[in-house]
Chain A
């Protein structure tokens, strides 16, 4: 167990729907990062939050949004889902605002299937 908890592990939903993915960072970590991993692509950075504030944005679609709550857990909201949104969504956390010397700790991911 890495200490980063992601729920649910699997999600199957229809096109056009909206889903929420949840991430609890490792205890003591203030930063949360979201990544998308499709079959034909590597890791795509979506967004980072640090202590409740958005810190960095990557290739995140407008249909997607995220937030980090006062207890530091984070949610990634995906709406108007398309078949191409089917992917593994990983959450990672780090102690500070960045990777520093320790890198990130990853969760086990949520496998989203859009049918």
Chain B
């Protein structure tokens, strides 16, 4: 079954510390993975797409097919990074041929001064 697992509900760090938000997926095909960020229960904003290999606001994420992971990393956390982060998987197989985003449960990142 297609599944996205974010094992941590809450990640609490101090400003300047490195951050790693974990995301593991289960998918038999070739996945497309995304990270979304939600500040204070506002709209979800696309943060990263693995296919574009970009870095946004200092965050990066590498797709590791061997470990089926797409962890989100930032070397030095800032207070404004405090938000809810959702990992999402898109795949064509088993969705009737149409890619549908499957979201993880989300991880709340709290960055303390």
A: number of interface residues (CB 8 Å) = 28
* Given A42-B104, A43-B86, A104-B101, A2 and B43 contact (CB-CB distance below 8 Å): yes
Q: Is the CB of A99 within 8 A of B43?
A: no
**A98–B98 contact, CB under 8 A?**
yes
Q: Is A103 an interface residue (CB 8 A)?
A: yes
- Contact, CB under 8 Å: B49 / A103: yes
**Complex Cα gap A106–B34 (Å):** 14
Q: Which of A31-65 contact B (CB under 8 A)?
A: 33, 37, 42-43, 45, 48, 50, 55-56
**Interface segment, one of B21-29, B61-69, B88-96:** B88-96
Query: By the criterion CB–CB under 8 Å, are B100 and A103 in contact?
Result: no
Residues of chain A touching chain B, judged by Cβ–Cβ distance below 8 Å, are 2, 4, 33, 37, 42-43, 45, 48, 50, 55-56, 88, 90, 92, 96-109
Chain B positions near chain A (C-beta within 8 angstroms):
32, 34, 36, 41-46, 49, 51, 86, 88, 90, 92, 95-96, 98-101, 103-106
Could you pull out 25 A-B pairs where Cβ atoms are within 8 angstroms? A2-B43, A2-B45, A4-B43, A33-B101, A37-B41, A42-B104, A43-B86, A43-B103, A55-B96, A90-B43, A90-B44, A97-B98, A98-B92, A98-B99, A99-B88, A100-B99, A101-B32, A102-B49, A103-B36, A103-B46, A103-B88, A104-B46, A104-B101, A106-B45, A107-B43
